[in-house]
Amino acid sequence: MKFLRFHGDAIVTGKNSIEYLKELDFKKAFIVTGGKSMFENGTIGRIKSILEEKGCCVHVYSGITKNPTTDAVLDGLEVMRKFSPDVVIGVGGGSPIDAAKIMSLFYEYPELNFDNALERPLPRERKKLKFIAIPSTSGTATEVTRAAVVTYVDRNIKKGLKTEAFVPDIAILDSTITLSMPKNVVAETGMDAMTHAVECYINKNIDDFAEVLAAGAVEGLYRYLPLSYKYGDEVSREKVHNYQCIAGCAFSNVGLGMAHGISHSIGGRYNYGHGLINAVVLPYVLQYNSRDNEVKDRLAYLAKRIGRDDFIKAIKDLNRELNIPLSFREMGISSEDFDRDFSLLVENSLSGSTRVNPVKASREDMIMVLKNIYDGKDIDF
């Protein structure tokens, strides 16, 4: 028996779907967002106007960075407790939405903290707060998932907390918000979504529902992500925004793999964007996993879905088209830092999503994989 949940109460999609907020009634809204981009493109102003016209009191908590730390979440939580909202709205990339998820859960359950949240099952539902997610980037799919990622600075690692209570009640996929994304953000977040879809599809825990969703997401992202990157038109931006969400609906019920385990390790230590690291890592992890015949067959099928002979080569070509670095060295990690931190990176990379990788990884395997990724050398068995 397997319990499946693909999203909260509703996914609202389409151009200007942010207007759906007009149909909701709240008294006090706590908005969590990042730095300045959502202010500059007018999104926060639009949301405030819609809510305030309905008589809702609004507080905006901003400044969540690309890899939110436990301290940043606790700072926001303190402000939230003073404001006492009845709805929390996460607006922006995956980081502010993830931070808002954790703030909301800790708000409802004051006994929770970042130490015991890793040691015991988390509450499965929110009973007071409503939660709305409005993503501005097209990659994390946090608007439909039960996970929230936070950086434990004292441990030099990103940790994913998981509970059904993190699933937003409403996900609003307004593609007009994505039109202001810089090209590098389009590329990196889009490849984050691709990594979600691919790792889900080759995961041993795949089910019939997720299989269809993940394969469809791979096909859609492979077709429209280069167009979104090159032209930034409304059609391709909306397609990628939808397909990344579809990938989220799939992997949230299945799991991911080694690419995400490595990404959380590298991101927690060096503060690079999650999608960028996933994009760099994915081809190498697929090479490593191809020793498994079932994975090899699934990658062959995905190749047919996108009209290519070799799926891993297709991902490499896509990275080049999106100007993604081909190695950790090219990404900017110095050899001195990499060598100094190597033991920590290996240990952290073996935790998290790597535990559900389709091919079980030993410490020796991870040493080899990380060194190859750093130097940009293919993994060949």
Q: How far apart are CA 147 and CA 121, in angstroms?
A: 13
Cβ proximity of 355 and 271 under 8 Å: no
pLDDT score at 118: 87
Q: What phi, psi does 49 have (nearest 5°)?
A: -60, -45
Q: What domains sit in the chain, N to C, each tagged with a CATH number?
A: 10-177 (3.40.50.1970), 181-375 (1.20.1090.10)
The beta-strand segments (E) located in the chain are 10-13, 28-32, 57-61, 87-92, 130-135, 147-152, 157-162, 170-173
Would the pTM of this model clear 0.85, i.e. be above it?
Answer: yes
pLDDT score at 67: 84
Structure tokens of 365?
């395997």
220, 315, 145, 54: CA torsion to nearest 10:
-60
Q: How far apart are CA 227 and CA 296, in angstroms?
A: 28
Cβ proximity of 205 and 4 under 8 Å: no
Burial environment of residue 53 by CB neighbours within 10 A (0 to 12, 13 to 18, 19 or more): exposed
Tens digit of pLDDT at every position of the chain (381 positions): 999 999 999 999 999 999 999 999 999 999 999 988 999 999 999 999 999 999 999 999 999 998 899 999 999 999 999 999 999 999 999 999 999 999 999 999 999 999 899 888 999 999 999 999 999 999 999 999 999 999 888 887 788 899 999 999 999 999 999 999 999 999 999 999 999 999 999 999 999 999 999 999 999 999 999 999 999 999 999 999 999 999 999 999 999 999 999 999 999 899 899 999 999 999 999 999 999 999 999 999 999 999 999 999 999 999 999 999 999 999 999 999 999 999 999 999 999 999 999 999 999 999 999 999 999 999 987
